């Protein structure tokens, strides 16, 4: 069996739950095994991070979104298994599934192996053979809260015979699985193909896991110089933190930049970047570093200024109705409106100039799979350099 591939997703999975299988009360288990002849591909709902072992064990755990493995039947047919999931950070729960291909013909698509509701069916075992695939299901989640006893269930099994396979191969699947690479798909460059910066940001390599930032579930972008600016911030204990002098708007003049994380509701906040010149900073220290004074004296306030708001105080109070327009095709005719209240802004240097990585984290937002690189200008606007879109795994 080939080694599986692993993606470092950095998910906040601090689950204080007892992991037990409803069909195996004697031993705690959260595994679902795809039996493939004498070999096994085991689906494990821990989502542990890290590299796969160098050895090729008989059993191998698929633990991360997009992780794939293959096993070969005695007939020589190749069975490919891929694991995926949707993670709900608010409720600390997930829905997981596997897809199975038989010689690149899709046999199972998104077969549930972990569910949320007690009445939802999930596969407890999947057995693949030359004649077909047998799927045995039970109802209820794998994760049983502490103190609750698992309910014994008799699995319901169905056989999908080989004759029921699609006649056409899945052309989205590669002929051979390169198990030496991690299952991270580079983002699609929507525009900026001629920019070296765009290609650097879209690169997927070892450094991505050390200095990258996640945009969407599986989109990783690189800071091209492996560093970011030190941005000032306000704290009750220390007041204003020391910041780097930054030519943040590419005007040739260094500014003071402060970052505020403004709460939107119990689950989220938006980025507010305030740009001050020396005179404004001196004046603020004289009259007081209040929110109102800060917004009034700032050279720029992002993203409020991008929404063409003349009254920043009102704009801050009504940020939920503001959007920043960004283009997908390099011109205004192909654009998306990114809500200011879910905007994420990350300044970084590149070739002695300043650029911003823009994305959003709106709950269920349709544009969460997009990211943009823009270059700020001294007049308060910006030039769009790159647009990226997350590529999805085939399931």
Q: Are 280 and 297 in contact (CB under 8 A)?
A: yes
Inform me whether the pLDDT recorded for 372 exceeds 70: yes
Inform me whether the pLDDT recorded for 23 exceeds 50: no
Inform me whether the pLDDT recorded for 84 exceeds 80: yes
* The pLDDT value given to residue 72: 78
* The pLDDT value given to residue 94: 75
* The pLDDT value given to residue 13: 21
Who wins on pLDDT, 354 or 76? 354
* The pLDDT value given to residue 384: 92
Mean pLDDT across the chain, nearest whole number?
74
Inform me whether the pLDDT recorded for 110 exceeds 90: yes
Greatest alpha-carbon span in the chain = 82
Who wins on pLDDT, 79 or 265? 79
Strands 335-339 and 232-235: unpaired
Mean pLDDT of 253-270: 75
Who wins on pLDDT, 206 or 378? 378
Inform me whether the pLDDT recorded for 48 exceeds 90: no
Who wins on pLDDT, 151 or 181? 151
Which of 120-140 are b and which e, b meaning 16 or more Cβ less than 10 Å from the residue's Cβ?
Answer: eebbbbbbbbeebbbbebbbb
Who wins on pLDDT, 362 or 160? 160
Which residue do the tokens 């059993």 mark? Answer: 59
| Domain residue limits, the chain | 18-164, 188-389
Is pTM beyond 0.95 here?
A: no
How far CA 235 is from CA of 239, 243, 259, 360, 369, in Å, comes to 5, 13, 11, 25, 32
* The pLDDT value given to residue 270: 73
* The pLDDT value given to residue 225: 65
Instruction: Give tens-digit pLDDT for 164-208.
Output: 888 899 998 888 876 444 456 778 899 898 898 898 888 766 555
How far CA 109 is from CA of 266, 336, 394, in Å, comes to 36, 31, 10
Instruction: Give tens-digit pLDDT for 58-68.
Output: 556 676 777 78
Instruction: Give tens-digit pLDDT for 33-45.
Output: 777 766 666 655 4
* The pLDDT value given to residue 2: 28
Inform me whether the pLDDT recorded for 80 exceeds 60: yes
* The pLDDT value given to residue 344: 85
Q: What share of the chain has pLDDT > 70, as a percent?
A: 67
* The pLDDT value given to residue 41: 64
Mean pLDDT of 346-365: 85
Q: Are 375 and 385 in contact (CB under 8 A)?
A: yes
Inform me whether the pLDDT recorded for 96 exceeds 70: yes
Mean pLDDT of 77-84: 86
């Amino acid at each position: 069996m080939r080694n599986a591939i692993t993606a470092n997703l950095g998910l906040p999975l601090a689950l204080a739950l007892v992991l037990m299988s409803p069909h195996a009360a004697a031993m705690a288990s959260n595994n679902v095994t795809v039996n493939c002849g004498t070999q096994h591909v085991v689906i494990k709902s821990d989502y542990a991070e890290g590299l796969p072992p160098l050895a090729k064990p008989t059993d191998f755990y698929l633990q991360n979104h997009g992780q794939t493995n293959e096993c070969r039947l005695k007939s020589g047919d190749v069975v490919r298994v891929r694991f995926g999931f949707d993670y709900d950070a608010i409720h600390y729960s997930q829905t997981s599934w596997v897809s199975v291909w038989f010689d690149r013909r899709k046999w199972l698509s998104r077969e549930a192996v972990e569910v949320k509701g007690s009445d939802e069916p999930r596969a407890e075992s999947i057995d693949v053979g030359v004649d077909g695939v047998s799927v045995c299901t039970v109802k209820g989640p794998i994760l049983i809260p502490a103190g609750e006893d698992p309910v014994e269930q008799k699995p319901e099994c169905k056989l999908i015979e080989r004759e029921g396979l699609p006649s056409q191969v899945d052309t989205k699947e590669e002929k051979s699985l390169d198990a030496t690479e991690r299952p991270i798909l580079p983002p699609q460059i929507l525009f900026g193909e001629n920019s070296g910066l765009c290609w650097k940001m879209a690169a997927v390599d070892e450094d991505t896991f050390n200095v990258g930032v996640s945009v969407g579930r599986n989109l990783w972008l690189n800071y091209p110089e492996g560093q970011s600016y030190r941005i000032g911030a306000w704290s009750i204990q220390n007041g204003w933190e020391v910041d780097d002098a930054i030519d943040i708007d590419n005007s040739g003049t260094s500014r003071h930049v402060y970052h505020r994380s403004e709460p939107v509701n119990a689950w989220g906040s938006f980025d507010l970047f305030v740009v001050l010149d020396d005179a404004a900073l001196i004046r603020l220290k004289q009259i007081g570093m209040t929110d109102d004074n800060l917004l009034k004296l700032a050279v720029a306030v992002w993203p409020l200024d991008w929404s063409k708001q003349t009254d920043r105080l009102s704009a801050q109070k009504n940020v939920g109705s503001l959007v920043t327009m960004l283009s997908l095709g390099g011109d205004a005719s192909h654009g998306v409106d990114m809500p200011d209240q879910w905007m994420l802004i990350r300044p970084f240097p590149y070739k002695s100039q300043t650029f911003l990585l823009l994305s959003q984290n709106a709950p269920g937002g349709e544009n969460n799979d997009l990211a943009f690189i823009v270059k700020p200008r001294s007049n308060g606007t910006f030039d769009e350099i790159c647009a990226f879109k997350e590529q999805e795994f085939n399931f």
